[in-house]
Amino acid sequence: MYNSKIIGLGKYLPDNVVTNDDLSNMMDTNDEWIQERTGIQERRWIEEGSEDTSAVMGAKAAKIAIERAGLTKDDIDFIVFATLSPDYYFPGCGVQIQDLLDMPTVGALDVRNQCSGFVYAISVADQFIKTGMYKNVLVIGAEYHSNGLDKTTRGRGVTVIFGDGAGACVLSREEDTTKGILSTHLHSEGKYADKLIVASPSIAHWVPEIIEAGEEDISYFPYMDGTFVFKHAVVRFSEVIMEGLIKNNLKKEDIDMLIPHQANLRIAQFIQKKFGLSDEQVFNNIMKYGNTTAASVVIALTEAWEQGKIKEGNHVVLAAFGSGFTWGSVIIKW
């Protein structure tokens, strides 16, 4: 048995900054409400006419991660791509990465676990490496939300939250099993699927039916029961972080860096308080990028690492919760 270890990280955010004031020109919202309820000051939205998509942004982040790992595309054995906003209904974005990076015909897998997507993707990659099947796995989280949001007052409860972006990492074989990914913990509770959902187009409710239903059918926009999701998020985040600590005989004080999914600054602050962590022990960048769902944890991890906030030997905890509901954590000895 081996462990897996993150040896390269990269991120890509579109240039186009959309401030809260920009949003208040589109819908009935304001900077004060958004900052107070979510902590978000601005987000990136892909500009019209840009070449960027989830796959394209993912490829840009992946190139940086591979280079920083000191590898080339030919060293990658497998691709895992997490997104809820794929370029196509099918095939998935993973195969586009194989093509965009001109890689050998390695396997490619898409993970559809929304806000927990990156945590699930890391766990999948970790299993392939632990068993010895692969040595280097490219793991990507990328989202292109902005083209699928309701930019009218009707959609304001959801639309102001989401941003576009991508992050990637290379997971590689680590012979020392006391280092790298120590454990991953995954959960789901499908009875709450309809609390945070894009319900269609689905095979059961295909495009012609939506068109026929006319303006009343907005099932292709994301729906969220925000308060319900919030209440479950704070409980599940805490549980799954605790689960990871217990599994590894660690205490709250052993956490050097917590990277929570960037869903809402208030959720992160609640967790911080609950675990008695200082501002230096929790990394947040939702202020700049909003919620980039499957990309948020890896973008935040990349930034924390770029800023020198993660050092060798640190215990780093990744945690996420979102649509499904799905949630999970990753415990890392860096």
Question: Residue numbers of the site for ligand UT7 (CB under 6 A)?
Answer: 29, 33-34, 37-38, 115, 156-157, 160, 226-227, 229-230, 233, 263-264, 267, 291, 322
CA atoms within 13 A on the CB side of 119: 36
Q: Which is nearer to ligand UT7, 38 or 136 (CB)?
A: 38
* Known active-site residue 93: no
Q: Supply the DSSP string of 252-319, one letter for each residue.
A: GGG-SEEEE--S-HHHHHHHHHHTT--GGGB---HHHH-B-GGGHHHHHHHHHHHTT---TT-EEEEE
Which residue's C-beta sits nearest to ligand UT7? 226
Nearest approach in angstroms of CB 155 to ligand UT7 is: 9
From the list 136, 169, 291, 315, the catalytic residue is 291
Q: Which is nearer to ligand UT7, 34 or 170 (CB)?
A: 34
Phi-psi region of 276 (alpha: psi -120 to 50; beta: other; left: phi over 0): left
Q: Please state, as a whole number, how many other Cβ atoms lie within 10 Å of the Cβ of residue 212.
A: 8
Q: Which is nearer to ligand UT7, 107 or 157 (CB)?
A: 157
Nearest approach in angstroms of CB 131 to ligand UT7 is: 31
Residue 94 is inside which H or E element, if any?
Answer: helix 93-100
Phi-psi region of 243 (alpha: psi -120 to 50; beta: other; left: phi over 0): alpha
* Known active-site residue 169: no
* Known active-site residue 115: yes
CA 180: distance to chain centroid?
A: 20
Q: Which is nearer to ligand UT7, 120 or 134 (CB)?
A: 120
The tokens describing 1, both together, are 């048995």
Nearest approach in angstroms of CB 305 to ligand UT7 is: 22
Nearest approach in angstroms of CB 84 to ligand UT7 is: 10
Q: Which is nearer to ligand UT7, 71 or 115 (CB)?
A: 115
Nearest approach in angstroms of CB 24 to ligand UT7 is: 8
Helices and strands, number each (H, E), in the chain: 11, 13
From the list 145, 185, 232, 261, the catalytic residue is 261
Residue with tokens 């991508």: 166
Distance CA 233, CA 325 (A): 9
Active site residues: 115, 261, 291
